[in-house]
């Protein structure tokens, strides 16, 4: 299959990320809200956007971000995703502690909370898996580490998509659905690419 021109790929990615963010900025739910709440909301939207970039980097599908450079960017975007989750949850904690406690203890009556908490713990687990990658690959082998990484990545994508689609937040419906569909497609591509890749290919990262 012929590759698209790099400029077109970058432009499409920029639109896919910028459009939902721009439309979310016009949400009436932001009226009369404090800066902490607004920052928390946009941290969630940015986290969803980063979740589109992350699997594309893992699959080497972004022009100019292949090989070692792509792996380095993948690590940085992963750190950004962890930071976005911390800011998102932290801001909600500051604005509504009881709701966050109920969500963390799985007592919330809203289904989106369960998926959000599951995705949050999967993000943190993936961050730890990446931070101790060398030590874990020595003990478990690169193949098992990679399978664990892919499994957690799939859980993150599924949890975040369900969380975003079920919640009535600041994102507009059509742009949110479009971004979630792109995240699902990118995650599927990364998982297929990861399964085809031999374990030895991950050494030396």
Per-residue pLDDT of the chain in tens (205 residues, 90 and over written 9): 356 788 898 899 999 999 999 999 999 999 889 999 999 999 999 999 999 999 999 988 888 888 889 889 999 999 999 999 999 999 999 999 999 999 999 898 888 999 999 999 999 999 999 999 888 888 888 889 888 999 999 999 999 999 999 999 999 999 999 999 999 999 999 988 876 665 444 444 4
How far apart CA 50 and CA 171 sit, in angstroms, is: 15
First to last CA, the chain: 28
User: Cβ neighbours of residue 36 under 8 Å, at least 6 residues apart?
Assistant: 91, 94, 95
Structural contact between residues 57 and 77, judged by C-beta atoms closer than 8 angstroms: yes
Number of H helices, E strands in the chain: 8, 0
Question: DSSP per residue over 127-182, as a string?
Answer: HHHHHTHHHHHHHH-HHHHHHHHHHHHHHHHHHHHHHHHHS--SS-HHHHHHHHHH
Q: For residue 178, count CB atoms less than 10 angstroms from its CB and return exposed for 0-12, middle for 13-18, buried for 19 or more.
A: middle
How far apart CA 96 and CA 118 sit, in angstroms, is: 19
How far apart CA 40 and CA 2 sit, in angstroms, is: 40
Phi-psi label, residue 116: left if phi above 0, alpha if psi -120 to 50, beta otherwise: alpha
pLDDT of the residue at 199: 47
Q: Is the dihedral of CA 56, 58, 63, 65 positive or negative?
A: positive
User: Cβ neighbours of residue 83 under 8 Å, at least 6 residues apart?
Assistant: none
């Amino acid at each position: 299959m012929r590759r698209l021109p790099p400029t077109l790929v970058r432009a499409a990615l920029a639109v896919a990320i910028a459009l939902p963010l721009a439309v979310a900025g016009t949400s009436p739910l932001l009226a009369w809200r404090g800066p902490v709440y607004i920052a928390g909301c946009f941290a969630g939207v940015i986290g969803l956007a980063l979740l589109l970039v992350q699997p594309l980097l893992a699959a080497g599908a972004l022009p100019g971000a292949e090989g070692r450079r792509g792996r380095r960017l993948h690590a940085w975007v992963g750190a950004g995703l962890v930071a976005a989750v911390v800011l998102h949850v932290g801001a909600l904690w500051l604005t509504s502690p009881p709701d966050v406690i109920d969500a963390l203890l799985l007592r919330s009556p809203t289904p989106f909370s369960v998926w959000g908490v599951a995705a949050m713990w999967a993000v943190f687990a993936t961050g730890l898996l990446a931070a101790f990658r060398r030590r874990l690959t020595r003990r478990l082998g690169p193949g098992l580490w990679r399978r664990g990484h892919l499994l957690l990545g799939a859980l993150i994508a599924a949890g975040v998509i369900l969380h975003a689609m079920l919640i009535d937040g600041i994102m507009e419906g059509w742009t949110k659905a479009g971004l979630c569909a792109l995240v699902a497609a990118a995650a599927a591509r990364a998982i297929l690419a990861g399964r085809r890749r031999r374990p030895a290919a991950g050494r030396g990262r």
